[in-house]
Every structure is written in C-alpha cells, then in structure tokens.
A and B are shown apart, each in its own frame.
Chain A
Amino acid sequence: MADGRRGNIKKEKADFSRRDFLKLTKNIAVGAGVAGILPSMIWLEDGVAAIPVSEGYLLVDTKKCQGCVSCMLACSLVHEGEENLSLARIQVIQNSFEEYPDDITLSQCRQCTEPACMEACPTGALHVDTKHGNIRTINEEECIGCQECVKACPFMPARAIFDDKKEKALKCDLCVDTPFWSEPGGPGGKQACVEVCPVGAIKFTDVVPEQKGDGGYVVNLRGRSWRRLGYPRD
C-alpha cells in the first residue's frame, strides 16, 4: 500500500537538517534513475534536494533482549498474516555458545536520514511516505523485485528484506500498513515489535538518532527494575 491505510501524523512539518540534503541536480537525479523519489523530496534553492527526515525510529537494547524473537513473530504476523522469521522486518540473530553480550544482535531498519535503499530503488517504489511521518516505505505494487534496495542497504544484515515467494522487497514501515492488526501504527501510533517485546528492549522515538555508527540506535533501556532482577544496568 503506497501511503498506508492509517494516518497518525502528529506533526505535519517536514524536519530536515543539513546532513539530510541530497546534493543532486534535477538532471543528475533523473539521469541516475531516481526519478521515482523526486515527489518525496523537497527542492531547495541551488538545485539541492532534501529528503524530509522520518518522524519515527526504533531503538533497541541488545543487552536487554532475551532472544525470544517475539518481535520478529509479531512483525510478520501483523504485516503478512503468517509467522515467518524470513519476512520479519526486524531481525534478531543469536548464538547459544557465545558470551554475553556478543551472543545477540538486533537489526532494525534505521529509517535513515539519507536512505541508500531509497536512492537505489529504480521505480520509486521505495519512497518517503509524507502522509505518515516521512517513513521510508515500499509501495508493493510498484516494486519490481530487483533487490537494489537490499543490495544498497549499508548495514548487515540488510534492513530491506526480500520475499522470495512474492518477489517483492519489504521493509519496516513502523506498522503504518498492518493488514492483520487494527491498531493505528506509524509515528504517533503503535509498533507491533515494541508492544509485544516482553522485556521492553525496543522503543519508539521521534527524535532523530545519531546517524554515524550504531550508538544512536542501540541504547540502554535497562531501568531500576532490571537491576532488581539482578541484571546489569550498564
């Protein structure tokens, strides 16, 4: 669904900062095959385009996660109507034999301010959804399954994922479009992974996280109660 079914936008304005500018001329942009993203962009003076920042982000605490992957199960359930770890837009990867905290990594879509996936999409299927808080999302009907977004994602594992049966790319939409869950999603709404996480290891924020490195997205969500249970707070 291109723009999602539900509108939960608290803020109408599009925030962007200097680092969010995509320094392209119109000619280069079209020539580079990114014409599809143009409607999502805001053109400034001097031929500089800016992608409005997302109004929502997921933060995770990898040290608090208990590895139950309930977030993955909830994600595929509300989006696809089935339980499928390969179609979960958040990925938990773990190794029983490793030492804490290196035994678990959580990989959530970062709703990047400069989304390489969006730039790589040749059809504009992957776009900024201005009706839903500028989330970076995929219009399934326009997706041709080329996987350029998957390849372009600079993170490991890629946060744009691929449904091999439908031959379409998928990515986190902060639960704007959840055909199997009637709760309003997106910025201002609820996210299935946040709601279901038993230990509160995933949090929604509308503040743009530091984009460089993982520090902005991997945070400490352990409070006093966590300490009361004998787990480290730091």
Chain B
Amino acid sequence: MSGYAGKILKVNLTKKEITAIPTKKYDQWVGGHGMGSAIFFDLVKDKTIDGFDPANVVTLMTSPLSGTLVPAASGRTEVQGIGVQSYPIGWFTRSNFGGRFSSMLKYAGWDGVVVVGKASRPVWIDIRNDDVKIRECASLSLWGKDTWECQERIWDYVAGKGKYGEWVKQEGSEARTTQRPAVVAIGPAGENMSRLACLIHDASNAGGQGGFGAVLGSKNLKAISVIGTGGIKIHDPQGLMEARLWQKKNYAFDLENLKRTQGGFEFQAPPLPVALWRGGRPRSDQRPQACIGCHSGCRARYEDKLGNEASCFATVFYWDADSHEIQRKASDLINQYGLNAVELCYGLLWLVLLNRYKQLDSGDIPKCPLDFGDLGSLDFVEQFVKMLSYGNDGLDSKSQFGEDITQGFVRAAKKWGRLKADLKSGLLMFPYWGIPIHKEPRAQVYWGYGTILGDRDINEHDLDWLKWDASIAKRYGRRPQASAEEVVKIITDKMEPFQGDTLMLDFSDNNIYSEHMAKLVSWHRYYTRFWKQSTLFCDVRWPDFLNLHSPDKIGSTGIAEPKFLNVVTGKKMSFLDGINLGKKIWNLDHAIWTLQGRHRDMVHFADFIYTKPGTRVDVPNAYLPGLEDGKWDYYGYTDRRLDKNKFEKFKTTFYKLQGWNTETGYPVKGTLESLGLGYVAEELNKNGKLGKG
C-alpha cells in the first residue's frame, strides 16, 4: 500500500490496551475523514452517546499524502468524534490541524490514532515508531501545564540523553532523527472540560472546533507524542518529484515574478502570514513558516517570538486590545491554555454588548467577575482566558459565571434565560448549532447552508478568496483578478459533475434558494469531504481555481489533486471519483447525525439571520458574482436577510438532490445502497431512522 504506513494505532485507555487495525480494512475510504467516519461508525455502537461518554471514540487520521512532497497536503491531521461544542446536540464532528503531527505519525509507522475509553488517571501516549506506551502524567507533572510547556517537557523526556540539534538515537536501536517529537496537547481548558477547549500542536496549530480538547480531557488524555524514523513508500517517486516541480513552475508564486504581494487563501499566494492583528503584521524581523511540505507558508515566526505561528482567528479574537503587543500576547495565551479563538471572539463580543446595554447584572446572570473598564488590557484578557479554562473567576476563586461560560456561550445564554431573545436580536452572533458566525451566511450563503446542513462552521475557504478579491477591489477601486463572468466560468467548469452550470455562482437574491445553489452546496460538501478532509489537501492553499501564473488564469484543480494522489498511491482515481467518494462520506456522516437525532425540523438558522440584515464580519460588504438584469458583475450582498420560507423550500430541493427523504431529511435505503452503504441503511432502519422513498 504505497502512501500508507499500513496500520492504525488503537489505544484503549480504559483497558490500557494497545492494538493495531490494518489500514487495508478501510482502504476504500482512502484516508483522513473517510476512514475516521468509517472507523467511528464501526466502533461506536450507540451513536446517541454524549461526547463526554467514555464510549466516545476520537480518531486522529492521516492521509496517503501526509509526510510527502505533495504541496500543501502533507501536514494536516483530521480529528473526529462526538463533539461537545455544538447545541442542542453535540454532533459527530470534525476538526483539523496543520504542522507535522500526521507526517510524523506516518514516519512512525501509523496511519492514524484511534482513542477509545477513559484513563483512570491523567496519561499521555508516547509513540516511538512501533513502541507505544501509555504513560502517566504524574512523572513529568504534565497535568496542569499549558500546551507549550507540556510539549517541551515531552520533547526533553523523549530525547533522553540526546540533544536536539544533533542526531537523537532511538533507545535500543541505531535509528535516529534530528527532529523533535510531534506532540498534540490539551491545555488547562481541556483538562477542565471547558467546551471551548481545543487541541494544540507546536505553537499554534489548533484543532479548534468541536471541543475536542474537552473530549480528550474527559478521557484523562493530556497529549499524544510521536517520533518516527521510518519512511513512506511512494508508488512513483520520480512522478511525485516531477509533479511537484510542475506545480511549482506553473502554478506557485514566483519570487522573481510576483503576481501578487498580498497573502490569502489561494494556491498562488506568496508565503505571507495570515496575521490579522488590528495593527497588522508585526514590524519586527520575521520569517514565513510553513507546515511540512507546503510551498507557501501562511504563518510566521518573529524576532520577539510573540504570536509565533498564530494566524486567522487566533490573531483576531482580542480585537479590543489596547496595543498590538497585548493582542499578540493574547494570541499566545489562547494557544497555551488551549482555547477555541472563534468562540472566544464572539463570546467576548456578546459579553461586551451585554455590559454596554446594562444587561450583565440582570435576570439569571450570575455576578460577572470581569471589570469591563479594563477591557483592552492584558490583565483583562488573561482573566477571561483563565475563567474559560478553569471555570472560576480567573483569579483563583470560585465563580458561577466562570463555570457557566465554560459550557460555551450558547449554553450559558440558555441557562441565563437569554438564548431566545439574544438569538432573535442578533446580540449573540451564533447563527447555527450553537456555533459562532464566521463568514456572513446571508451573503456567502453556501457557507451558511453548508454549516446548517452539516455539523459545524464549515471553515472551508474554497470560494472565500473570491469574496475578498472582489470586495477589496471594489473598496480600493482596483481591478479584481478576473471579471465576474470570467471567474464563474473558470470555477464552474471544474465543478464535476455539475460542471458548466454558471448559475451555481449567482449569488443574487433570486438565485440563492435555487437548484443551482443546491448543486453548489452539494459539490462543496463532496469536494471538501474527500479532497480536503480525506486526502487532506490544505484548506488555505486548495483548491487552485484561478491562477494568474497560468494561461487563461485557469488553475490546476481537477488535474492536480488526482495526479498527486495517484503518483503517491498507485491508485487510478479521477477527480470525479474523488467527488463521488466525497458524496459517499457526506452520506455516511449525515446518517450518523440522523442516528444522533437530526431531523429536518431542526435544520434552521437562528432567528436573526431571517430578521436582521447581514453584518460586517470580515469585509464591509461582501461582493460576490451575481447575474442581475442579465449582467454578470460583482455585487454587494451583505445587506440582506434570508427568507425563512424560501430556505425551507431550498432544503427540500437540497434533500431531493441528495436522494434523502424530503419530509424528515432522513437517508433513504436506495440512496445508501447505491453508494455502497447498505449496512448503514440497516442500522438506520433498526433505529427507526430510515427515510421513506
């Protein structure tokens, strides 16, 4: 099995048992999310359990491309299991982080880690090639430590008598490496089962959504460390080298011929940090920093090391900071304590608004320990971070308020009797599944639809660059990279099996509930489920739709993804094969949600999405392609509401397109069987959740 290590590590923390699952058993899913969903489906018999139940299974999966030279596809790790963040049900969900964990896992001889059960005392997993141990945290005093100190302690322990900077030999063998172990850890937030807790690897690779930090905390699992000295067999090494150089020559940024000097979520973008601190990029000396194998890093390391590797929301969340330095220190704080930046960002905004409107001392809200007069200071954010991590007042004393918000802001609002009103007014900007807003779902409807029809904020930027490019061009009077007409053709031509339907990218009011839009959402679900979350092409750099280095501006997507997968594995998959497998994985996930309790009636946005116009969540007005009065152009669509009735009709259209029951949203036997998921249909039927049709 070229591209694979051949076995998946299964660690049963309850039984203290370490076993291997042959990867071949799950080969049909290729890797990552597909394998993770299939393993979860097999191992978790009762899908209705809570995320904190010891029977919950967490998978950390690699792909055949992990640890290889495939550009922007080597460093991601896919995490799955029942989450604890979403509301009212903690959906079976996913998260994903970059760095070098998945590659090191492969070099150690493992295609993934499956965590089962719960340890009786705090432990960490120590993987050194085939030698795997469950070790107690006590000997290294890891429990209670922040994610960075935890990693450094493990590094030192694993090095033994060795020293980083030299070749470090593995105990009892001549195998050696110069590399530090790749460690994924939880911080105090995870230990205390804060639902906002995430996983942190190296300085700022975060598996943010789902509350997986809390799930591992509930299992008494502090960290997983892996060091590998082995190799990954490549089906066609020469083909891989040539493909990488082909991609570099034809599609990647060229320092001697820069087409763009801005960063961004595009394959062609140069290596610039997505550092969104209010004061912009630090002026101190710095370098770009990339995940393993990536052609264009999206983070940076700095001369003063403040905010090393932080990007996106980790740099945004403390918007009120008094200084650039405080904002950067805040980024480090959430990484060290292991907290989900997006939820903190919008949770803090909610508290600030409640305070501004004199609502914080009203109703059922316990006394808030925060002094909002101090908002913007380092002390304030440190106290806030500690409250969310320890469930206290952030100053080492008990606090009901602190305890409540560790359950997430939507659950706190529910407890305080504010949920309905604040979701109606939009004060609490959590439009779906108790998850905070990210992109404006009233403008970028595919983002909102994908989220509400799924399990989490999709956080898939496949088309987001389009909005940025057009919106910035409009704002500053520049020309976008391509006209709206040009761009919709380039993109939709690649969207097999719906290729050529340009109306999929018509974001005008009349089209956003159409079958065309349902096709766009479907394609997006399938593409991301397979090519991004299973083969693990990175969300920041893929897909490569529009590329200024290429003739006619046509990027490499559609050609590049299968080319790389096939040279690594020897498979003969086409781009469409991947899309179809993505559809199968999407259907498996949807079946799991159905078993958990998903019904069509639950699938609706928070009221404010229907009653209030969109807001400026990233750009003042989100410009997107639209066909208005017969003319393609970029139009601003932020200032609109979604129509509830029309969205209900859209759901019917979408369910029909999926082959699901339109009344319940349940999967249908014939659809599942046609996808090779007959066994899933049987389980749904046993549980009374199989749709008619």
Q: What 8 new A-B contacts, CB under 8 Å, besides A73-B293, A107-B178?
A: A68-B297, A74-B69, A77-B237, A83-B231, A97-B305, A101-B285, A180-B241, A181-B238
A74 to B240, CA, bound (A): 9
Q: Is the CB of A223 within 8 A of B244?
A: no
Given A82-B231, A82-B237, A228-B258, are A96 and B203 neighbors across the interface (CB < 8 Å)?
yes
| C-alpha gap A93/B165 in the complex (Å) | 7
Q: Which of B271, B295, B305 makes the CB contact (< 8 A) with A99?
A: B305
Tell whether, in the assembled complex, residue B296 and residue A225 are in contact, meaning their CB atoms are under 8 Å apart: no
Instruction: Decide if B309 is an interface residue (CB 8 Å cutoff).
Output: yes
Which residues from B are CB-within-8-Å of A24? none
Identify the stretch in A8-16, A195-203, A205-213 within 8 Å (CB) of chain B at 4 or more residues.
Answer: A195-203
B295 to A78, Cβ gap below 8 A?
Answer: no
A214 to B234, CA, bound (A): 35
Residues of chain A within 8 A of B308, CB atoms compared? 96-97, 99, 103
Q: B237 to A100, Cβ gap below 8 A?
A: no
B499 interface hit (Cβ, 8 Å) = no
Tell me if A182 counts as interface (CB < 8 A to partner B). Answer: yes
- Asked if B288 lies at the interface with its beta carbon under 8 angstroms from chain A, I say yes
Q: Are B175 and A164 in contact (CB under 8 A)?
A: yes
Main secondary structure on A side of the interface with B: loop
Q: Which of A26-55 contact B (CB under 8 A)?
A: none
Q: How many Å from the CB of B292 to the closest CB on chain A?
A: 6
Q: Are A229 and B261 in contact (CB under 8 A)?
A: yes
A198 touches B231 (CB 8 A): no
Known: A93-B178, A158-B167, A229-B261. A70 touches B302 (CB 8 A): no
Q: A97-B308, A232-B285 are in contact. Are A182 and B238 (CB under 8 A)?
A: yes
A113 part of interface (Cβ distance < 8 Å): no
Binding site for B on A (CB under 8 A): 63-70, 73-74, 76-78, 80-87, 91, 93, 95-101, 103-105, 107, 150, 156-158, 161-162, 164, 167, 180-182, 192, 195-196, 198-200, 223, 225-226, 228-232
Name the residue on A nearest B67 (C-beta).
A83
B369 within 8 A of A: no
The interface residues of chain A lying within 8 Å CB-to-CB of B178 are: 85, 91, 93, 107, 157
Q: Is the CB of A98 within 8 A of B271?
A: no
Assess the B229–A164 pair: CB atoms within 8 A: yes
Tell me whether A228 and B261 are in contact (CB under 8 A): yes
CA separation between A199 and B252, bound complex, in Å? 11
Is there a chain A Cβ closer than 8 Å to B523's Cβ? no
Chain B proximity of A2: nearest CB distance (Å)? 22
- Of B69, B202, B297, chain A has the most CB atoms within 10 Å of the CB of B69
Please determine whether B230 and A84 come into contact, CB atoms closer than 8 angstroms.
yes
Q: Given the complex of chains A and B, what is the CA–CA distance between A164 and B173 in angstroms? A: 8
Nearest chain-B residue to A104 (Cβ)?
A: B287
Q: How far apart are the CA atoms of A156 and B261 in the complex, in Å?
A: 37
Tell me the residues in window 292-350 of chain B with beta carbons closer than 8 Å to chain A beta carbons: 292-297, 301-305, 308-309
CA distance A138 to B244 in the complex (A): 28
Among B173, B241, B281, B286, point to the contact of A74 (Cβ < 8 A): B241
Do A85 and B179 touch across chains, with their CB atoms under 8 A apart?
A: yes
Question: Quick check: is B272 within 8 A (CB to CB) of the other chain?
Answer: yes
Contacts of A104 in B (CB 8 A): 287
Q: Which residues of B contact A232 (CB under 8 A)?
A: 285-286
Give the CA-CA distance A98 to B289 in the complex, in Å. Answer: 12
Whether B563 is near chain A, meaning CB under 8 Å from some CB there, is no
Query: Considering the complex, which residues of chain B in the window 259-284 have a beta carbon less than 8 Å from any beta carbon of chain A?
Result: 261, 270-272, 281
Q: Which residues of A contact B290 (CB under 8 A)?
A: 66-68, 198
A68 touching B294 by the CB < 8 A rule?
Answer: yes
> Which of the listed residues A97, A182, A231 has the most CB atoms from chain B within 10 Å of its own CB?
A97
Tell me whether B179 and A93 are in contact (CB under 8 A).
yes
Once A74-B244, A83-B68, A99-B301 are accepted as A-B contacts, the answer to whether A93 and B164 lie under 8 Å apart by CB is yes
Determine whether the beta carbon of A87 is less than 8 Å from that of B255. no
Contacts of B557 in A (CB 8 A): none
What chain A residues lie within 8 Å of B231 (beta carbons)?
76, 80, 82-84, 86-87
- Which residues of the other chain, A, contact B288 by a CB distance below 8 angstroms? 66, 199, 231
